Structure 1
Amino acid sequence: MSYPGYPPSGGYPAFPGYPPTGQESYPPAGQYSYPAVPGGYPPAGGGTFPAAPPTAGFPAPGGFPAPGGFPAPGGYSGAPQAGGMPPYPGAPTGPGFGVPPAGPGFGGYQQPSAQSYAGGGPAQIPGYGGQAPSPMPAPPAAMVQCTQGTIQAAPDFNAERDAEILRKAMKGFGTDEQAIISVVANRSNDQRQKIKAAFKTMYGKDLIKDLKSELSGNTEELILALFMPGTYYDAWSLRHAMKGVGTQERVLIEILCTRTNQEIREIVNCYKSEFGRDIEQDIRSDTSGHFERLLVSMCQGNRDETQTVDYQKAQEDAQRLYQAGEGKLGTDESCFNMVLATRSFPQLKATVEAYSRIANRDLLSSIDREFSGNVERGLKAILQCALNRPAFFAERLYHSMKGAGTDDSTLIRIIVTRSEIDLVQIKQMFTQMYQKTLATMIASDTSGDYRRLLLAIVGQ
């Protein structure tokens, strides 16, 4: 998914030139509108983005676009046809890009199972026991319709059969790592939790402890991450980012600035139940200043998530941000915090576009000029997710492997957490931004079973 003129030839992350100079609306002149609206776009009175569709099915019989133009007569709600469609006109196409067909694992959004937290894990990874948080509801359709994971629920799944395969792979002398990889890389997280429960029922042993005794290094870290329920893994990552001497601020930004309200609330509850700690207090103890305030705002999980865009408010917010930064001597940091912490991502995207017209400069560049350090990185992460979330994670993956050495924890965390959500789109953006595939870079930076497992998750 790309935006006109983005990424720039000079590369990413700054999203400069968006929208391009001379183009004050999306899409640029010469490209068909999305969707056509009598009297112009956006609709008079603000309207929604896109204009609220009628209720009949989309696409029309005969395929996409429907004869006579887009949207098809009668509207465009309903299930997409198999194979998907580009998320907006002009988007790149290809296998797996666009709207995946409905079915098991659609969108890769898996809710944790109550069995996820059963079994009492090893002392080295506390928190495998305890109460499971309440199940997450399915996310709004607008959040999943353009995303797709590389891992989906396996058809004809049999937890007992998989548990037996893993037992045989670890029994006796030596370990059949390939057998382990073939199971864990091709099952959804929910299915892995069922395998973990079946293993204990069948053999009276803890699967996680057995895996730890057979594996080591990055391969062990990756497989254990895959067996953690998603909510727990995020909470565990945040705890370890603040535990001990020093703080891994980039981990806090990566998780707290990119998750949905429901995900953040589940993380906060899990952090409390599994580690007996208040995440807000830990943040206050480990960070300070405007960065601390931004993260505390994120922890509330109260961002507006309506998909309707108020263009008048976007104009007002853009003017407010300009007056708080570029338009004055000094910076009113609290104004940036308020807007970026509360507005929905579609609303922020509209604000970015309005800001470019007011300031003759894109908002990300203004944040570069007005802020520094971790608060700058946090504010930019929020805006980057509003503009192009897969591009944000693609950049993080690239820098985890760029240069000497590899930031394996970041590589593992992003591959695991996005594998059932939008890793297909992250791969697409990675290739577009860096002119090489994610699999190629992983293959050159890793080795052995660790490389084989990563590539199995990413998909060739």
Structure 2
Amino acid sequence: MGKERYFQGTIKAAVDMNAERQADLLRKAMKGIGTDERRIIQILASHNNDQRQEIANTYKQSFGRDLIKDLKSELCGCFEDAVVALMTLPDQYDAMNVHKAIKGLGTDESLLIEVLCPRTNQSMTEIKEAFKTLYGKDMMKEVESDISGDFKRVLVAQLQGNRTEEDEVDMEKVKKDAQDIYDAGEGRLGTDESLFNKVLCMRSFPHLRCMFEEYKRVASKDLKDSIKSETSGNLKESFLAIVKWTENRPAYIAERLHKTMAGIGTDDEQLIRLIVSHSETSLADVKEEYFKMYGKSLRSMIEGDTSGDYKKLLCAIVDGTMTPP
């Protein structure tokens, strides 16, 4: 119950990768009149991020040009956005999204929840370091100054990266946490949000999975239902994100992907972010969960909601079957 699952992405490292050849082919795809978008898709979707970085470095050495700048000058729209996302280091991509969420007037709380709530201590440290490198500022201070209240306390707890990480689960502590959570919410008038925060943001993921099961026994209901009835707004959404991610990461991502394409219009920014961010870590599992949850393949949904080279690139990532030219 508590043990960590092993997830698989769709994009894996290409065997016998030749950075010089790929860099040369990319230059040819963009040189002269017209752009060979098919070749760009083939190269980017058949190499993982480490290899793309190596290709970009080789491109710079061979031609004295910045690969991302060249790609941006040749492409446009959502296709350009997805290509640039693929070419960006993962920790920098996350840091850029945090910056996007808090810059200017207003705050994109949903984006902050997506990027910051389901995180290991190590990944949080990497994002904070990337933010400092990119913007010369302390990410925790920047986020703290942009939000308030109980929601602020949840994100600060996540940003501190103090979640316990032991694999062994102490069932006595699990039982105590389940009872304490019940007593702080369903078992009293009003809600002690700080207790929810302490447990959900500081306990290890294996511990939490066991605690969720114990909570069902104590409260005779699912913790997610209690969170929905005891909290509201961004606080509710942040707690739910942690619980859903912990219970079943691929299902959580599948649900968010479905929401980007449900109804009229498509949230392309979030669609790109979710597909690219999880392409090497769990997208293969996400595809399976998506089909179980919605009775349709993720690929078919993308095909119905996107078009052109943008659609071809996303489908290539989801398929994960491209081979290098």
Which range, TM-score by smaller chain?
over 0.9
Q: Deviations over 1:288-341 (max 9, x none)?
A: 100011001000111111111111111000110111001100010100000001
In the other structure, the counterpart of 1:283 is 143
Do structure 1's residue 162 and structure 2's residue 17 form an aligned pair? no
In the other structure, the counterpart of 1:40 is none
**Between Structure 1 and Structure 2, which shows a larger proportion of helix residues?**
2
State the TM-score, normalized to the length of structure 2.
Answer: 0.96
Residue 73 of structure 2 aligns with an amino acid whose one-letter code is S
Quote the offset at 1:195 in angstroms.
Answer: 0.5
In the other structure, the counterpart of 2:229 is 369
Residue 151 of structure 2 aligns with an amino acid whose one-letter code is F
In the other structure, the counterpart of 1:152 is 12
Q: Take 2:269 and 2:100, find their aligned partners in 1: how far apart are those partners?
A: 11
In the other structure, the counterpart of 1:184 is 44
- Equivalent residue in structure 2 for 1:266, among 111, 126, 137: 126
Q: Take 2:286 and 2:60, find their aligned partners in 1: how far apart are those partners?
A: 36
Unaligned segments of structure 2, at least 5 residues: 321-325
Q: Take 2:209 and 2:113, find their aligned partners in 1: how far apart are those partners?
A: 19
Do structure 1's residue 409 and structure 2's residue 256 form an aligned pair? no
Aligned positions of 1:21-420 closer than 5 A:
142=4, 146-420=6-280
Report if aligned partners of 1:345, 1:385 keep a CA contact under 8 Å in 2: no
Report if aligned partners of 2:119, 2:158 keep a CA contact under 8 Å in 1: no
Q: Deviations over 1:122-180 (max 9, x none)?
A: xxxxxxxxxxxxxxxxxxxx46xx21010000001011100000000000000000000
Q: Take 1:399 and 1:161, find their aligned partners in 2: how far apart are those partners?
A: 39
Residue 275 of structure 1 aligns with an amino acid whose one-letter code is Y
In the other structure, the counterpart of 2:323 is none
Quote the offset at 1:207 in angstroms.
Answer: 0.8
Q: Take 1:260 and 1:155, find their aligned partners in 2: how far apart are those partners?
A: 29
Quote the offset at 1:274 in angstroms.
Answer: 1.3
Number of residue pairs aligned between Structure 1 and Structure 2:
320
State the TM-score, normalized to the length of structure 1.
Answer: 0.68
Q: Deviations over 1:17-70 (max 9, x none)?
A: xxxxxxxxx7xxxxxxxxxxxxxxxxxxxxxx56xxxxxxxxxxxxxxxxxxxx
Q: Take 1:450 and 1:396, find their aligned partners in 2: how far apart are those partners?
A: 19
Larger radius of gyration: 1
Q: Take 2:213 and 2:311, find their aligned partners in 1: how far apart are those partners?
A: 41
Q: Deviations over 1:409-431 (max 9, x none)?
A: 11001111100001001110000
Q: Take 1:149 and 1:359, find their aligned partners in 2: how far apart are those partners?
A: 36
Residue 334 of structure 1 aligns with an amino acid whose one-letter code is S
Q: Take 1:444 and 1:292, find their aligned partners in 2: how far apart are those partners?
A: 38
Partner-residue secondary structure (3-state), 1:411: helix
Q: Deviations over 1:318-366 (max 9, x none)?
A: 1101110011000101000000010011111111111111111111100
Residue 438 of structure 1 aligns with an amino acid whose one-letter code is L
Unaligned segments of structure 1, at least 5 residues: 1-25, 27-48, 51-141
Q: Over the residues paired in the alignment, what is the CA RMSD in angstroms?
A: 1.1
Report if aligned partners of 1:231, 1:267 keep a CA contact under 8 Å in 2: yes
Report if aligned partners of 1:355, 1:361 keep a CA contact under 8 Å in 2: yes
Q: Deviations over 1:175-200 (max 9, x none)?
A: 00000000001100000000100001
Q: Which has the higher contact order (CA 8 A, sep 6+)?
A: 2
- Equivalent residue in structure 2 for 1:433, among 289, 293, 312: 293
Q: Take 1:417 and 1:205, find their aligned partners in 2: how far apart are those partners?
A: 26
Quote the offset at 1:259 in angstroms.
Answer: 2.0
Q: Percent identity?
A: 51
Quote the offset at 1:285 in angstroms.
Answer: 2.0
Partner-residue secondary structure (3-state), 1:286: coil
Q: Take 1:226 and 1:258, find their aligned partners in 2: how far apart are those partners?
A: 21
